[in-house]
Structures are given as C-alpha cells and as structure tokens.
Amino acid sequence: MAGHRLYRPAEPFGGRMADILRQSSLPDPFRAAPSAGWKVLDASTLTEDRDIEADVAIVGTGAGGGTAAEILSGAGLEVVMIEEGPLATSSNFRMREADAYPQLYQESASRKTKDKAINILQGRCVGGGTTVNWTSSFRTPVATLEHWATSFGLAGFGADDLAPWFDRMERRLGIAPWPVAPNKNNDTLRRGAQALGISVSAIRRNVKGCWNIGYCGMGCPTNAKQSMLVTTIPAALERGATLLTRTRALKLEHVNGRVGALACVGLDARGTDPTLRRITVRAKTFIAAGGAIGTPALLLRSGLGGHEVGRSLHLHPVPPVPAVYDEPIRLWSGPPQTVMSDAYAWLDGAYGFRLEVPSALPGVLAASFPWRGAVEHSERMRELDHVAVIIPIVRDREAGRVMIDRAGRPIVRYRVRGMAARHCVRAIVEAAYIHLAAGAREAFTLHTRPLAVRRGDDLAAFAREVERRGIVPNRVAVFSAHQMSTARMGGRRDAVADPEGRVRGVRGLYVADASGFPSASGVNPMLTVMALARRNAVRILASG
C-alpha cells in the first residue's frame, strides 16, 4: 500500500457549505413547527402507549403518502401520517454519506435482495424517496398506459384521462424543463450519444431555485427540491394533520370485512429497533403508501389483499457503466440527472432501457467498483475525479416477489433474467460505446472480475465478453431505485386493488404508492406515483 493515499473529494466551499447554505437558503419549513402548532410526534420519545383517532391514517410519507395527505387534509379531514423514518430537514442535512445513509435510507442504503445480488436504494424518512431522489420528473409513457389499460383492465388510465392529474402535480411541484447546462457527467452522455447519432433529451425537474450543488441524494440543503418534505407534508400539517415519526406500522386490524385500526410500534432514536411503546391508530379510512416493499409487507402481516400481494415486484434493474476521462468530471457536482436517452426504450414492445446518469459519491462508488485487491481498487479510487457513470434503467417484464419472514420483516426475491437480462447486457455495451464516443480513455463494467474496453480495442470482442458473462447474481453489481407493482391495481378480480386503489376483499383500505402500478412504469416513477395518489385521494373524497 506504500505510495497510495485514500481518496477524499475536495469539499465544496472548503467544507463550510452546510453553514453557508443554512444562512442563505430557503427557510426550513419545520423550523417554525413548534410556534405554528404543528402536530409532530417522534415516537422514540414516548414514555407511554398512545391511542389516536382520525378520519384517515396514511402509512408512509413518500411520493404517494405525502400527496394523499395534502389532498385529504385540504378537504377538512383529520389525517394522521405514520412514518417509520425520522423527521430530518435541511437544518440536519450535513451532505456527508456517513450521516445521510443511516439517517435517510432503508437499511442505511444497504437493503438487498435475499441473494444479495441487487442493491436496493429506498428512502426511509419523512418525504420517503422524494427526500433523497434526484428530481427527474417524467409522465408515464403512453405505451405503458396502453399496456395497463389493455392487459390489466384499467379503465380511465389513458394519457388524456391522467393529464389533469399530472398537470396539477407538475404545477404544485414546479416541474419544468431544466434550463441550466448539464454537469460534466450528464454532458458525457449527451456528447457520446450525439457523436453516435443517438437521440438525447433534457429531463424536467421538481425544483425551485436550485443551487446546482448535486447532493440531492443526501437531502436538499437549500430546500430547492420540491420533495414532499417541503411541500405537501407542511401543507397537511398546516391544515391540522398529525405526523408520527419513527413509528412503524405493524398490522391492520380488521373485523367483519372492514379495517378499523392500525397497530404501530415506536422505534428507538436510531430509528431501527422497536421500543416497548405501542401506538394504535383508529380511522375510517386507511391508506397504504409504504412503498413497493413496505406496503406488501404490511398487507401480508395483516392477512389482507389476497394471494397476489407481494408478487409481481419490478425493480427497473440498473447495471451502471463507469468510464475514466482525461478531464476532471466530478460526477457528484452539479444537478444529478438532466440528460437522458430513450433511444433504446422501445425495444421488444417498449420493454427496453433508458440511459441516464446517477448522483454518486465516493462511498457508493468505492463499494461498487470491482475488487481484485487493495492496490487495484485504490488505483481506481485515485482516478475518481475523472470518472463518469452512465446508468441504464431497464424496464423489466419478469417479476420478483416480496415476502415476509417469521418476524414479519420483508424479504425481497428477484432475479435479473430473460428479457431484462438480455437488455442489461445490451445496455452495458451501448453505454460503454457512448463513453468511448464521448472521449473516455476507458470504460469498465462492474463485473467482479474486471472487464474494461479502451479506445481502439476490438469493440465486438468486448460485446461478446459482456454477453458471455451475462448478469449472474453477485458477479456484477446491479442496483434498483425504482421498486414497483407489488399490490397491483387492476380491473381483474386477481388484482390486489381496484382501479381506484381500493384493496379488494376488505372495506376502508386503499393503496396509493408505487406498489399499485400494474407493472414497471418504464420511466423514473415518482411523478406517476404522485399523479395516481392524487387521483385516488380525490376518489376517496368523492366516495364519502
């Protein structure tokens, strides 16, 4: 190891960024919470059990739960939001990986499939995925909606039917084309694709007054990102809603075909282990919005939703492709996702892949790079300043499953196979070509046995080798930030929920999150979740 030093990226503003931002950013809406009389209860502080009554109880405060909370509380209903993660706000965001992952992500950003082959990134905090996501805002593609309508009997899911719901969410969250030049990482995708004649376009973002810092995955320190944390949840609290944090929903109690209560447990200050404190929430209506792993786990623990619950898990598997450039890239700097290519999205009946780039920091990169030995790994880390990464987002037709273990904890089974595996292989090759066309010195895969391609190499031989290795579990790094469709809505009787999100076989329970998608959306799912949650919440109001 002599002669090698550990890589440390230069901290912006000489490490004082958090302090500078705190003085000059948009105000933290929760700073005013005590004087505004907002009802926020951190269950880790409870000294006795609690019984709470409300009109509506919502499990999860992410894209779906946060959206539903604003609509329902705005209509004058008494709403309780139940969130297992902590309330962390811009006043706490330190923009350090070591702080952010344990604080804001499920299982400290180390949640994995049962076979440990896929790294699952998911928010676990007030705002859920919207607090840590990268702000890319897409409407559901028409091809996906047509598939949902024809194959799942979803009436009223046409692009024109849903347009008003998208419009309202886009206006609410300031979703608009992003006018600022792409950062260096996004620009490599733009340059390389254009050099090869592959179409690229700009991504719309849900931001207001973004500082282009690039730390969206650590919680936005300026409150520019229009996550649920700074928009719909404060609005719901302003209208009298209650927010329970570090509170895990365990089980929905139902009698005579109607859900009447939700049993919850308080978590400790770290937000991981249960305490002895029990919270019982009684309500007329319950909404499951714990995300596509949390919601099926809750339904399974409660014995609700029928035998399809947890099946049909889609993950949009991502096999990232890094490359080393001569010029500095600093992929953690600047707004994370602003350029994308959907040139390969229409393969095999719109089950192809989209190309985007990630927001990634040194800790995640270090954990993902191939490990052949300390020296080789540290060589890669020394070049980190010059590394760009393309992420193919593969629309998976094949499904996995969410189950629960004896303690009721979720187990995720998923294997990248069939068409999705073929598209992962093709996507790795295309992404490597794009890097080389953009001027990369070398592109490499994240197979455990290193595989790289340089300018002037035999590209066909590289493609054959990628195909030969394929996507074998634990032989290549695969990620997922898009979990979907484990409590599917549909017009058929075997769907877990009807087209309005009403869970079949029981009264008083709805789904309003990514678990309700009939299949993989094909694009980054946040805006689809919100539009459907908003629609379902309005239908709940209409049904009295």
Binding residues for ligand FAD, rule: CB under 6 A, are 59-65, 82-85, 121-125, 128-130, 132-136, 217, 248-249, 289-292, 294, 298, 337, 481-482, 513-514, 524-527, 529
When asked if residue 214 is in the footprint of ligand SF4 (CB under 6 A), the reply is: yes
Please state, in angstroms and rounded to a whole number, the distance separating the CA atoms of residues 53 and 93.
Answer: 33
When asked if residue 94 is in the footprint of ligand SF4 (CB under 6 A), the reply is: no
Q: Which does 529 bind (CB under 5 to 8 A by kind): ligand SF4, ligand FAD, none?
A: ligand FAD
What single string gives the DSSP state of each residue in 42-74? EGGG-SS-EEEEEEEEEE--SHHHHHHHHHHHH
Report which of 256, 248, 235, 238 is spatially closest to residue 281, judged by C-alpha positions. 248
When asked if residue 99 is in the footprint of ligand SF4 (CB under 6 A), the reply is: no
Q: 139 vs 380, which CB is nearer to ligand FAD? A: 139
Q: How far is the CB of 222 from ligand SF4 (least distance, A)?
A: 4
Please state, in angstroms and rounded to a whole number, the distance separating the CA atoms of residues 154 and 520.
Answer: 15
Q: 119 vs 223, which CB is nearer to ligand FAD? A: 119
When asked if residue 206 is in the footprint of ligand SF4 (CB under 6 A), the reply is: no
- Give the interface segment with ligand SF4, choosing from 181-189, 214-222, 389-397, 492-500 (CB under 6 A): 214-222
When asked if residue 222 is in the footprint of ligand SF4 (CB under 6 A), the reply is: yes
Q: Which of 60, 335, 499, 522 binds ligand SF4 (CB under 6 A)?
A: 335
Q: How far is the CB of 188 from ligand SF4 (least distance, A)?
A: 18
Please state, in angstroms and rounded to a whole number, the distance separating the CA atoms of residues 287 and 513.
Answer: 9
When asked if residue 135 is in the footprint of ligand SF4 (CB under 6 A), the reply is: yes
Q: Which does 294 bind (CB under 5 to 8 A by kind): ligand SF4, ligand FAD, none?
A: ligand FAD
Please state, in angstroms and rounded to a whole number, the distance separating the CA atoms of residues 85 and 124.
Answer: 5
HEC profile of 192-243: HHHHCCCCCEECEEEECCCCCCCCHHHCCCCCCECCHHHCHHHHHHHCCCEE
Axis-axis angle for helices 526-542, 63-74 (nearest 10)? 30
When asked if residue 433 is in the footprint of ligand SF4 (CB under 6 A), the reply is: no
When asked if residue 176 is in the footprint of ligand SF4 (CB under 6 A), the reply is: no
When asked if residue 93 is in the footprint of ligand SF4 (CB under 6 A), the reply is: no
When asked if residue 208 is in the footprint of ligand SF4 (CB under 6 A), the reply is: no
CA dist list (Å): 301 to 235, 253, 295, 297:
31, 10, 10, 6
Paired strand residues for 443: 323, 453
Q: Which does 224 bind (CB under 5 to 8 A by kind): ligand FAD, ligand SF4, none?
A: ligand SF4
Q: 7 vs 211, which CB is nearer to ligand SF4? A: 211
Q: 500 vs 513, which CB is nearer to ligand FAD? A: 513
Q: Which does 118 bind (CB under 5 to 8 A by kind): ligand SF4, ligand FAD, none?
A: none
**509-511 vs 274-288, strand pairing mode:** parallel
Cβ neighbours of residue 535 closer than 8 Å, sequence gap 6 or more: 162, 165, 500
Paired strand residues for 454: 442
- What DSSP designation does 136 have? B
Residues forming the site for ligand SF4 (CB under 6 A) = 135, 207, 210-216, 220, 222, 224-225, 335
